[in-house]
Chain A
C-alpha cells in the first residue's frame, strides 16, 4: 500500500483567504461582510429617515434652488456679481473670496512664520526673546478674539472717508478700507505684456547659463544687472513704441464713499492679518523644531567652509529641515483655510458666510447646502495636501540625488 503524497492546498485559494480575511481566515471575512452590511444599513437609514422627515414637513428639497435669484448684495466680489444673479453665482463669489483669503493668508503666514522661527534660534538675545514672546502671546489667544481685535480695535479706529488719510493724493485709507487707483487697460497693453514675458524668459535663460558656467568651469558670471535691465527696459521700449499700456482712475470722494478706483475692504485686511499672524505662530514653532532636528554639526560644517550664518542656513540647514517641516506645515495651511470660515463674525463674504449663511437661511435647504459646503472645504484641503505632498516628493528626490 503506497502512501500518496498529500497535494498542497491551492495557492490561489490560500492567497484569496488571506487577502479577504487576514489572519482570521474565512470567519474574519464573514465578519467584515457583516460590518460593511451594517454600515450600509446605517447609511441607508440616515438617508431614508431624512427623506421621510423632509417630505412630511414639506421642506423644499433638491438642487433646483441653485438657479433661483439670490436678491442680496455682497460687499466684495472678485467676479461680476449683481443682486439679480443666481445662488450658483453667489456660491462662486463666496468660493473665490475664501480662496483669496486662504492663498494670501498662507503666503503671509509662511513668511512671518519662517522669520519668527529663525528669529527664535538667533544668537541675538533680544531678537530671540521677541520672537519667543510673539509665539507665546499669539498662539495662546483665541482666533476669533484676534479677528475681532484687528477689525474693531485696530482698523475700526481709522478715520471716516471724509477725513481719510491720503497717500500721495492717489490712495486713501479710511475705515471703509484702502482705495487705490484702478488701472484701465489701453491699446498698448498687449505689446507691454508680451515684452514683459519675453524679458522674463530671457532672464531665466541667462540664469541657467550662469549656473552652467558655475557648475562646469567654476566661473562666477554676474547676470542680475542684465536681467533687471531687460525686465524693466523691454516693456518701457514697448510702451514707447505702441503707446501707454494703462492709465489710472484716481478715486474721489462722492457722497458717503469713494467712487472709482479699486478698494481693499477692511474685513479682508482684518481677516488676512489675523489668520496670518495666528497661523505664523504655529509655523514658527514648526520651523524651529525642523531646524533643531538637523544635526548641529551641519551648522559647524558650514561655518568651517567659510559660509556666513545666513548662507549656511539657506544652503545647508533649511533644505534638510524642510523634510521635517513640510507635513506639519501642510496641517497649518489646512487649518488656516478652514479657520477662514470665522469670517462671518466680521462680515467678510466668504463661502461660509454667503452660501452656508445667507443662502441657507433664505432657501432653508440645510442638507443640500451644508453637504455642498463640506464637499468644497474637503476638496480645497485635499488639493492643498496633494500640492504639498508633490513638493515634499520633489525635495525628497533632490536630496536623494
Chain B
C-alpha cells in the first residue's frame, strides 16, 4: 500500500504520466485503445471479480458503459483495484482515467483534490452493522462501543461527528482495507462495523454467518456515490457524466438491453434524438451518433444495472429506495438528451 502511494507521488512529482493527460483524456484513451478504470479491491455488487476473474458490479458497469460509448466494446477496460486511501492519488497522477469506486461526493474532495465528480450513480448513507447477539436495536444504544472502520473514507469523520453530536463515547479502529476491517469485526475486536449501508450488505455476505449480523435502522449521513475524473478536462467530464445520464434516461424511456434495436427504429422525435437517427448529439460529445445504443447494448439501462448487481436479482437484494427513478418515488433524475 505504502509503495503504491509512494510510487504515485513520484509519478505526480515527475509528471511522467500526468503530463498531457490533463486536457485530452478522451484522445489518450482512444489512442491507447483501452479505458483505465479505478475500482475497489473487491466489494460485491459494486466492483468485485467473479469466479471467472471478470470484474462485475455497478461501479464496474459504469466503466464498461463508458468503454462501450468510446469503443463500442465494453471489454476494453483495464480495472485497477485501489484502496480507499490510494484512490485519489491514482486519479491525480493519471494512472487511471476514471475512478468508479463507491466514492462519496463532498465539497472538499471536489475542490481540493483536483477532481470533478460526474454525477451520482448510487444514493447511499452510512450505517452500522452489529451482531444480533448484542441485542442492540438503535445506533443511539452504542455508547462506549468499539467501532471498526476503513481508513481514508468519509465514514471515519461521520462516525466522529455522530457520536460527538449524541454525546456518546466510542473507540475507533481504522484499517487499511475493507477486508482487514471486516476480519477484525468478525474476530470480535469491534462491536460495530460502520460503512455505507450498501457496503454493509455487501460485506455481510463475506462473514461466516451473515444471518447473525444486522444493519441498524439509523442512516447517519448522506453518501452520494459516483464516478469522478481529473479536474481540467471538461470534454472527458462530459463523456463520463452523459454516459451516466444515458443509463438513467434509457430506463426512463423504457429502453432495455433486449429491445434497444427495436426502439432504435422508432420514429418518435425524442427517441430519434437519443438514438442519433436525428441530429448529432453524440458527436458533439466527441463520441458517435449511436452512443446510447452502444451503452445500453453493453450494460442495459440503469435499472437493469441496479437489479443485476445489487437489487433483487443479486445476492445483496437491496431495494431501489432512493435510487428509484424520480417519477417512481426515488430521486434518480437525469437531464434530458436533447
Question: What residues make up the interface of A, taking CB atoms closer than 8 Å to B?
Answer: 46-47, 49-50, 52-54, 56-60, 71-75, 83, 151-152, 156-157, 160, 175-176, 254-257, 259, 265-267, 341, 344-347, 349, 352-354, 356-358, 360-367, 370
Asked whether A366 lies within 8 Å of B172 as measured between CB atoms, the reply is no
Contact status B13-A49, CB under 8 Å: yes
> Would A49 and B184 count as touching, CB distance under 8 A?
no
Q: Which residues of B contact A255 (CB under 8 A)?
A: 143-145
CA distance A361 to B115 in the complex (A): 13
Give B278 Cβ to nearest chain A Cβ, in Å.
38
User: From residue B319, how far is it (CB to closest CB) to chain A in Å?
Assistant: 30
Contact A366 B184 (CB under 8 A): no
- Assign chain B's interface to a size class: 35 or more
A346 and B161 alpha carbons, distance in the complex (Å): 24
Q: Is B188 located at the chain interface by the 8 A CB criterion?
A: yes
Kindly list chain A residues whose C-beta atoms are within 8 Å of the C-beta of B152: 357-358, 360-362
A41 CB to closest chain B CB (Å) equals 14
- A361:B160 contact, CB within 8 angstroms: no
* B161: chain A residues within 8 A (beta carbon): 71, 83
B174 CB within 8 Å of chain A: yes
Contact in complex: A57, B230 (CB < 8 Å): yes
Q: Whole-angstrom distance between the alpha carbons of A346 and B189 in the complex?
A: 11
Q: Does B267 sit at the interface, judged by CB under 8 A?
A: no
Establish whether residues A363 and B189, one from each chain, have CB atoms under 8 Å apart when the complex forms.
no
A265 to B174, CA, bound (A): 13
Please report the C-alpha to C-alpha distance between residue A121 and residue B128 in the assembled complex, in whole angstroms: 55
Other-chain contact of A364, B15, B114, B142 (Cβ < 8 Å):
B114
Mark B252-267 against chain A: 1 for CB-CB distance below 8 A, else 0: 0000000000000000
Q: What's the Cα separation between A352 and B113 when bound, in Å?
A: 20
Query: Beyond A58-B231, A175-B189, A255-B145: 9 further Cβ-contacts under 8 Å?
Result: A49-B19, A50-B12, A59-B92, A60-B111, A266-B189, A347-B180, A366-B9, A366-B89, A367-B12
Contacts of A370 in B (CB 8 A): 5-6, 9
Query: Which of A57, A151, A346 has a CB less than 8 Å from the CB of B92?
Result: A57
Q: Beyond A57-B230, A259-B144, is A75–B13 a contact (Cβ under 8 Å)? A: no
A315 to B18, CA, bound (A): 62
Nearest-neighbour CB distance to chain B for A89, whole angstroms, equals 14
10 nearest A-B pairs in the assembled complex, by CB-CB distance: A361-B152, A59-B114, A57-B114, A156-B187, A60-B112, A49-B15, A364-B113, A361-B85, A73-B172, A344-B176
Tell yes or no: B84 within 8 A of A by CB: yes
Q: How far is the CA of A239 from the CA of B87 in the complex (A)?
A: 58
Q: Does B183 contact A (CB under 8 A)?
A: yes
In the complex, A29→B107 CA distance in Å?
A: 55
Whether the Cβ atoms of A349 and B230 lie closer than 8 Å is: no
User: B171 near A: Cβ within 8 Å?
Assistant: yes
Q: How far is the CA of A60 from the CA of B92 in the complex (A)?
A: 12
Q: Is the Cβ of A347 less than 8 Å from the Cβ of B148? A: yes
Contact indicator per residue, chain B 158-197, by CB within 8 Å of chain A (1) or not (0): 0111001000001111111000110110011101000000
The residue that B188 contacts in the complex, of A57, A75, A156, A344, with Cβ under 8 A, is A156
B235 at interface by CB-CB < 8 Å: no
* Complex Cα–Cα for A363 and B184 (A): 26
Q: With A46-B14, A152-B187, A176-B189 in contact, is A56–B22 under 8 Å at CB?
A: yes
Give A371's nearest chain B residue, CB to CB. Answer: B9
Question: Is there contact, CB below 8 Å, between A83 and B164?
Answer: yes
Contact of A160 (CB < 8 Å), options: B19, B176, B188: B188
Evaluate contact between B160 and A72: CB separation under 8 angstroms.
yes
**7 contacting pairs across A/B (C-beta < 8 A):** A57-B22, A58-B114, A72-B160, A256-B143, A347-B176, A347-B189, A357-B176
Chain A residue at minimum C-beta to C-beta distance from B113: A364
How far, in Å, is B18 (CB) from chain A's closest CB?
Answer: 5
Candidates A53, A157, A345; contact of B15 at CB < 8 Å:
A53
**CB < 8 Å: which of A53, A75, A157, A349 contacts B18?**
A53
Question: Max chain B CB contacts within 10 Å: which of A71, A72, A346, A363?
Answer: A72
Rounded to whole angstroms, the CA-CA distance of A395 and B18 in the bound complex is 53
The answer to whether B176 touches A74, judged by C-beta atoms less than 8 angstroms apart, is no
A361 and B88 contacting across the interface, CB-CB below 8 Å = yes
User: CB of B157 within 8 A of chain A?
Assistant: yes
Instruction: Tell me how far the C-beta of A58 lies from the nearest C-beta in chain B, rounded to whole angstroms.
Output: 5
Chain A residues in 8 Å Cβ range of B87: 361
Chain B residue nearest to A254 (CB atoms) is B144
When the two chains form their complex, are residues B170 and A352 in contact, meaning their CB atoms are under 8 A apart? no
Q: Within 8 Å CB of B172, what residues of A?
A: 72-75
Which of A49, A256, A266 sits near B14, CB closer than 8 Å? A49
Closest residue of chain A to B230 (Cβ to Cβ) is: A57
CB distance from B277 to the nearest CB of A (A): 38
**Cβ-closest chain B residue relative to A255:** B144
Q: Is the CB of B112 within 8 A of A257?
A: no
Shortest distance in angstroms between A81's beta carbon and chain B's nearest beta carbon?
12
| Chain B residue at minimum C-beta to C-beta distance from A174 | B188
8 Å CB contact of A256 from B13, B144, B232: B144
How many whole Å from B253's CB to the nearest CB in chain A?
36
User: A334 to chain B: closest CB distance in Å?
Assistant: 16
Cross-chain contact B232 with A366 (CB below 8 angstroms): no
| B14: A residues at CB distance < 8 A | 46, 49-50
- The answer to whether B151 touches A56, judged by C-beta atoms less than 8 angstroms apart, is no
Residues from chain B with Cβ under 8 Å of A60 in the complex: 111-113
Q: Are B174 and A349 in contact (CB under 8 A)?
A: yes
Q: Is the CB of B12 within 8 A of A358?
A: no
The contact of A358 among B85, B112, B148, B184, by CB within 8 Å, is B85
Q: Most B CB atoms within 10 A — which of A156, A345, A366, A367?
A: A366
B8 in contact (CB, < 8 A): yes
Q: Do the beta carbons of B112 and A53 come within 8 Å of each other?
A: no
Q: Are A257 and B146 in contact (CB under 8 A)?
A: yes
